[in-house]
Structure 1
Amino acid sequence: MRKLKNIKWMLFFMACISLLTGCLNQNKDANKSSTTTDGKTVLEFWSFWGAGPRREVVQELIDEYNSTQDKVEIKYVYQPWGDIWTKALSATAAGTPPDIIVQDINTVAQRAEAEQSVDLSQYIEEDLEKEFYPQLWDTVQYEEGIYGLPFNTDMQVIFYNKKLLEEANLQEADLPKTWEELEQIAHQLDVKEGESFKRIGFYPLWNIGSEVWSLNADNGISWFDENEAIKINTPKKVETFEWLKKWQKYYGKDTINNMEADFGDGMSDPFISEKIAMYANNINYYTSLKENAPEDFEFGIFPLPAKTASDKNWTWGGGFALEVPKGAKHVQESYDFIKFMVSQEAQEKYGANSYDVMANRLANESLLEGDMLSEEDKIIYQMVQDNFDQTVITPTPLSAPDYLNLVKEEIDRIMIDGKDPQEALKKAQESVENLVQQNE
């Protein structure tokens, strides 16, 4: 019996060795570049665009690139949102990374510091940065290196229903330029039946967060300034949360929560279904309206209003960069594809199909001035031209990579628990200061 048991353990041990050897061989094989029948090296390009106009135009650009050179073939690999970066991190650690990947533009420096991406500066022409918006180019730099190229970005704006504006005897010239005007016009657009709101003119925290309004109020300064000084507990940010609480009190938490519970996509979208007259959103929400709104649905866009008439109308943008993960075998060839994807021509094609704000400013200017878009569709790129100087990008500080959880915890205490804004922001400031000290 003991002998039989020993044999079973030996067989189990041999199976484990076989399985481990197979995994090692698989990783070893994965490190070997595959080639096509005509000798091209296959490079994997990972992104999260799995369907719709963005996925289609990316594939068109890949096909175009593959047909115009005989060195490599780009293979598109879709990874679901939320999974892509975890998988990429694991693959990079295992020495089997993708060749090119779409990454969050605000965390480029973090990956560079962690040696998870490749410094591309030796491949980059000296004047290439002139094609990009300065605040985007800043995000891909770490120390003396360039660790990716900006691909696209965005901008937070407000969409409005033209019909509802007319019904309230308002003209486009009346669109708000300050927070005070925004409140006044929003309440003119409200529709109330008894004690219930049938329609809300505007609520500032649907789709964009309090951090956007905070930097809008505070001279474009987010939770950290450009020198990584902590700027959470400032007078203007305290005023911002007092203002947001005022909106919450006016409509009531129950009204806000009930309205949010009914939000959906397509025709049930609250802006399309006219439950909301003005709707803050990312500028590429335009794509959803083009796809889902009825033909007679007329809308416009205006920038986030300034806090006061003497302030600028600051807004926020995020976006993505294209990087080569550490350990990729064909860096020059990967960079060549990245350079193609951020070229003016490729970015024009992508923008014309997605209505994204492209990182290449020349592409946005061409979309505005050229004939690839209708005059109606150019509204996006006119907004970009008029307002991108006031668009703030907020790279995550290396001194406190996880600070946002601490800030959000106190914001929840303000907006959900009713905590005094000054007390909560003071606590958030102290918590982040402690975090920075711990990371020194």
Structure 2
Amino acid sequence: MKKGFLGFLCILLVMGVLAGCNEEKSSADTKSKDGKVVLNFWTFWGSETRRPIIEKIVKDFNDSQDRIEVNHTFLPWGDIWTKNLAAVAAGNPADVIVNDINSVALRAENNQAEDLSKYLDDSFKENFYPHLWKTVEYNGKPYAVPFNTDTRLLFYNKKAFREAGLDPNKPPQTWAELEEYAKKLDIKSGNKYDRFGFYPLWGSVGPSAWMASADGGKGFIDDGDLAINTPKKVEALEWLLGWQERYGEKNVQAFKAEFGSEQANPFISGKVAMIIDVGTFYTQIRDYGKDMEFGVAKIPAYDENAGHWADGGGFVVEVPKGSKHPKEAVEFIKYLTGKEAQKYWGEKNYDNVANIEGAEAVSESLDGQAKEVYEMTVKNLEETNLYPVPAEYPDYQNRINPHIDKVFTGKLTPEEALKKAEADVKKIKK
């Protein structure tokens, strides 16, 4: 037992030495040879497309002034946030990091991100879409700055519309019209479908989005109150199940198994006439859907008296707790989220950016259908909801999803599933 205890002490000593080395390295790296403050900037943008873009923005910032030097480090998706938490715990984090927009409050609650209110004046938030800025505040203070976002649209095949006797300039506006159009667009050979008019769970959309749409845009947690087992969400889940029952579960699964990316995408290949996806889906159609005639529209509303709703996500830039240079880090963040850098990022990636003037500048720089789709995404941001994870209900989505999955395998009714889901989420409130 004494031997084990001594071994444990040795491990602690080694960890202490390593930590000291790391801290010494970090301190040594905070100044460059010419006296500039050195900032470490972590992103997961390492692709051939995105890495040159973010590194050009970093270079432009470094060349714009002579006090701060930013070093960009790429870390793979998934690894970056695990390493960030470990670095924060060790007291040796990066100075700026790109992070998930919907979990800012959790990091603020857990003291993993710096309060930026002392570096940003009250007017700064006016540069950004209000629904995005709302996600970065915790107890009335900002702990990050929005960088980019997304929204979902209905993409529809105009040629298929004409073939089915539908007006290609009049996409469906309600759920009822969506069903009506889908039936006209279906092509069936015996018991097999050669083309699906529409299936609500294909593309970039899930059951939660449809349930929120039916419930007036209300997510599973609304202003701190649970809104999981509501009549409208039960109805929406029944509606989704109805699509599976009409097409047949085997047909749905068999068809889905054929899906791939690029040319094999079911919409681009003509196997699905309508699909919901993020605005950047346009680039796949542009690159792989040669001469494809398509249109974009808002996601159909629950009924003629309801609003059109879409859900969104995105990323923020924040200062991890313990950064040695938070003031300089925020100066770099202001540049990253300013009009010019946002315009460059948006143009090169065909991405929705968080800065309002930046987004408008991207729209003005485009033409043709690229402009049409981008302008629709910008307009759609006004009706796009984000659903930040509340600090009192961390990981709530993972409590809900398994119950919803059981609806589509026939193990639970929609009402049973949402009742169980709400009961499970209640158990995790802090």
TM-score by length of 1: 0.91
CA contact (8 A) 1:287 1:354 kept: no
Name the amino acid aligned to 1:394: Y
Structure 1 position 426 matched with structure 2 position 412: no
Compute the RMSD of aligned alpha carbons: 2.1
Q: 2:227 aligns with which of 211, 223, 231?
A: 231
Superposed CA deviations along residues 176-208 of structure 1, whole A, max 9, x for unmatched, are: 000011111112111111110111111111131
Name the SS of the counterpart of 1:76 in structure 2: strand
What does residue 139 of structure 2 align with? 143
Structure 1 position 214 matched with structure 2 position 211: yes
What does residue 411 of structure 1 align with? 404
In the aligned structure 2, how far is the partner of 1:203 from the partner of 1:33? 57
Structure 1 position 342 matched with structure 2 position 345: no
CA contact (8 A) 1:45 1:76 kept: yes
CA contact (8 A) 1:365 1:381 kept: no
- Equivalent residue runs for 1:374-413 within 5 Å: 374-413=367-406
Name the SS of the counterpart of 2:194 in structure 1: strand
- Equivalent residue runs for 1:157-306 within 5 Å: 157-206=153-202, 207-225=204-222, 227-294=223-290, 296-306=291-301
4+ residue runs of structure 1 moved beyond 6 angstroms? 12-18
Superposed CA deviations along residues 156-195 of structure 1, whole A, max 9, x for unmatched, are: 2121222222222322333100001111111211111111
Name the amino acid aligned to 2:428: L
Name the SS of the counterpart of 1:31 in structure 2: helix
In the aligned structure 1, how far is the partner of 2:285 from the partner of 2:74? 25
Name the SS of the counterpart of 1:320 in structure 2: strand
In the aligned structure 1, how far is the partner of 2:125 from the partner of 2:236? 35
Name the amino acid aligned to 2:133: W
- Equivalent residue runs for 1:64-213 within 5 Å: 64-206=60-202, 207-213=204-210
Aligned length: 424
Q: 1:314 aligns with which of 289, 309, 316?
A: 309
Gaps of 5+ in 2: none
CA contact (8 A) 1:31 1:95 kept: no
Superposed CA deviations along residues 245-283 of structure 1, whole A, max 9, x for unmatched, are: 111011111111112212112212222111111111122
- Equivalent residue runs for 1:359-378 within 5 Å: 359-368=354-363, 370=364, 372-378=365-371
What does residue 53 of structure 1 align with? 49
Identity among equivalent positions (%) equals 41
Q: CA deviation at 1:39?
A: 3.2
Gaps of 5+ in 1: 1-5
Q: CA deviation at 1:212?
A: 0.6
In the aligned structure 2, how far is the partner of 1:310 from the partner of 1:21? 64
Instruction: Pick closer, same or farther for the CA change 1:219–1:13 going to 2, 3 Å.
Output: closer
Structure 1 position 356 matched with structure 2 position 337: no
TM-score by length of 2: 0.93
Name the SS of the counterpart of 1:169 in structure 2: coil
CA contact (8 A) 2:151 2:311 kept: yes
Q: CA deviation at 1:359?
A: 0.9
